[in-house]
Amino acid sequence: MSLTAKTPTTAPGTTTVQAARTATRREYLMCPPTHFDVVYAINPWMDPSVPVDRDLARRQWADLRDTYLRLGHTVHLVEPQPGLVDMVFAANCALVADSQVYGARFREPVREPEAPAYRAWFAAAGFGEVFLPGYANEGEGDFAVVADLILAGSGFRTDPAAHGEAQEFLGRPVVSLRLTDPRFYHLDTALFVLDDDNVAYYPPAFSTGSRRTLARLFPDAVLATEADALVFGLNSVSDGKNVVVAQAATDLIAQLAARGYRPVPVDLSELAKAGGGAKCCTQEIRR
Ligand code: ARG
């Protein structure tokens, strides 16, 4: 991935020649949904009056973890803390690149106690100092790594000042994107990284300038429908070939298969009641 604008590889009307997709082994951090519940509302998906089937949530989460293991990835677990009902959303705890950990600083006070719990995991796992951010940022909820580049969202949770801070700390270029639709309050609800060259996203979730920026950087991007974005189809996790994706995102699944990726459907309907899907439950550790 380079910052130079690219021209689409396929002209309209020509037949697409499929690239062979390559999976690379990943290392993930997850948090069991032992204390998962919806007891407050900090995004439009959450409604404490709608009951959560916590047993089903646990089974769905276990399926997700087992899916990663089956694909050959490593899954580390952090100890869930009583009372921290959203701690299952491990993606929000940090942004890790080159073994450097840029810590989270939650915008919502109810989630802030998750930050030290996750920092303790990184320290115990030998990552040394976790950067204590000066600005609100919810980790990989609003940061996505595409090869050397970092895409960063703001608009609802992460302070745009955190984008510059992350660039300074990680030494990687950060491209700021602005989210405009409260249903897509984190970047990872509207965009995911397919591989080192490409992403999938839902353009209407972004400001006009951010859409133009994405179109320049990723002229071949997979564009999702609103229906697929609304079932957290873009809250997906790709290893370069296998894409763990919400099973209800049927058009997206077909598009991915047509591009030579291998969709691996999962059902996280109970987690969706808190506003999250597969990616939200998954923090990637990049050594
Ligand atoms: N209920 C959580 C919140 O509103 C959901 C977080 C989902 N995580 C994510 N990476 N999008 O903060």
Q: What pLDDT band is residue 13 in, cutting at 50, 70 and 90?
A: very low
Say yes or no: CB of residue 86 within 6 Å of ligand 1: yes
Say yes or no: CB of residue 92 within 6 Å of ligand 1: yes
Q: What is the pLDDT of residue 5?
A: 44
Q: What is the pLDDT of residue 17?
A: 52
Say yes or no: CB of residue 188 within 6 Å of ligand 1: yes
**Mean of pLDDT values over 110-120:** 96
Say yes or no: CB of residue 91 within 6 Å of ligand 1: yes
pLDDT exceeds cutoff 60 at 96 = yes
Q: How far is residue 209's CA from residue 117's CA, in Å, rounded to a whole number?
A: 37
Q: Which fold has domain 27-284?
A: L-arginine/glycine Amidinotransferase; Chain A (3.75.10)
Best probe residue, ligand 1, of 31, 46, 110, 138 (max atoms within 8 Å of C-beta): 138
Dihedral class, residue 10 (left if φ above 0, else alpha if ψ from -120 to 50, else beta):
beta
Say yes or no: CB of residue 160 within 6 Å of ligand 1: no
Q: What pLDDT band is residue 108 in, cutting at 50, 70 and 90?
A: very high
**Mean of pLDDT values over 31-52:** 97
Residues 6+ apart with CB under 8 A from 53: 270
Ligand 1 nearest-atom number relative to CA 141? 10
Q: How far is residue 230's CA from residue 184's CA, in Å, rounded to a whole number?
A: 9
Centroid of ligand 1 to alpha carbon of 82 (angstroms): 18
Taking only the tens place, the pLDDT of each residue in 177-192 is: 999 999 999 999 999 9
Q: What is the pLDDT of residue 129?
A: 80
Taking only the tens place, the pLDDT of each residue in 217-247 is: 999 999 999 999 999 999 999 999 999 999 9
Residues 6+ apart with CB under 8 A from 75: 28, 29, 30, 65, 68, 69
Taking only the tens place, the pLDDT of each residue in 257-269 is: 999 999 999 999 9
Contact 141, 89 (CB under 8 A): yes
- Catalytic residue positions? 186, 280
pLDDT exceeds cutoff 90 at 8 = no
Q: What is the pLDDT of residue 57?
A: 98
Domain ranges of the chain: 27-284
Centroid of ligand 1 to alpha carbon of 275 (angstroms): 6
Q: What is the pLDDT of residue 14?
A: 47
Of the candidates 141, 105, 153, 101, the one whose C-alpha atom is nearest the C-alpha of residue 123 is 101
Say yes or no: CB of residue 165 within 6 Å of ligand 1: no
Q: What pLDDT band is residue 4 in, cutting at 50, 70 and 90?
A: very low
Q: What is the pLDDT of residue 239?
A: 98
Say yes or no: CB of residue 43 within 6 Å of ligand 1: yes
ipTM score above 0.95: yes
Q: What is the pLDDT of residue 254?
A: 98
Q: Give me the chain's average pLDDT, please.
A: 94
Centroid of ligand 1 to alpha carbon of 274 (angstroms): 7
pLDDT exceeds cutoff 70 at 1 = no
Q: What is the pLDDT of residue 128?
A: 80
**Mean of pLDDT values over 49-56:** 97
With a pLDDT cut of 90, the percent of the chain lying above it is 92
Best probe residue, ligand 1, of 31, 36, 38, 43 (max atoms within 8 Å of C-beta): 43
Q: What pLDDT band is residue 18 in, cutting at 50, 70 and 90?
A: low
- Residue located nearest, by CA, to atom 7 of ligand 1: 276
Centroid of ligand 1 to alpha carbon of 71 (angstroms): 25
**Mean of pLDDT values over 31-41:** 97
Say yes or no: CB of residue 197 within 6 Å of ligand 1: no
